[in-house]
Amino acid sequence: MAKIFYLFRHGETSYNLEKRWQGCSIDSLLNLNGQRQAAQLAEKLQNNGLEIIYSSALKRALQTSTIVATKLDVPIQIIPDLREGNLGKAEGLLAQEVENAYPDIFQAWYSPDNDMSIAFPHGESKQQMQDRMFAVFHDLLQTPEQTIGVCSHGSSIRYLLMKFGILPHRMANTALYQIIYDDDCWTAKILSNQ
């Protein structure tokens, strides 16, 4: 039987607004706009039959999940490996500062055809993020639910989606993707990225 996943990024934080990279070590809350985005996401998901939401433990993801789950009246379960990638020395820097400090890595970060071993100093590689996220989805195939919400973070989602043929792209807060596992085959598509 098919499993349907609705994978979404957390809502906006003040760090997102100022284009400051959070990674997994900065645990910020949603700003007011991020809370509104989460409520709008719940409306988009209202008729999709979600049975549960699995969420990163980071506050911005858990707060997004809580807003959605409350509106949809579904439970939340935390999976720590849905966290954002470890961006190493880039965490806490403005995007422009990251680009200035690590221009080659910064350019390669969003490229669809580069080496998956790319990582910021002391950080997790794109391949490590993809492997970590895919292991979570593989484990979720064993759960009893058929229609599952998953809340995670931009870089972790971006590199997971590459495994399913969706090229790296800049991702809006509360961007929404559908991933289906059916007959030993994974397919994915973008539902909303605005």
Tokens of 87: 């961006």
Q: How far apart are CA 31 and CA 35, in angstroms?
A: 6
Q: How far apart are CA 187 and CA 189, in angstroms?
A: 7
Catalytic residue among 12, 18, 51, 84: 84
Cβ atoms < 10 Å from Cβ of 38:
26
Helix 126-140 / helix 154-163 crossing angle, nearest 10 deg: 80
What φ, ψ does residue 107 adopt, rounded to 5°? -65, -40
Active-site annotation holds for 43: no
Query: 123 in helix, strand or coil?
Result: coil
Whole-angstrom CA distances from 167 to 118, 140, 189 are 16, 23, 11
Active-site annotation holds for 84: yes
Catalytic residue among 10, 91, 124, 153: 10
Residue 136's nearest CA partner among 119, 117, 150 is: 150
Question: Which residues have a catalytic role annotated?
Answer: 10, 84
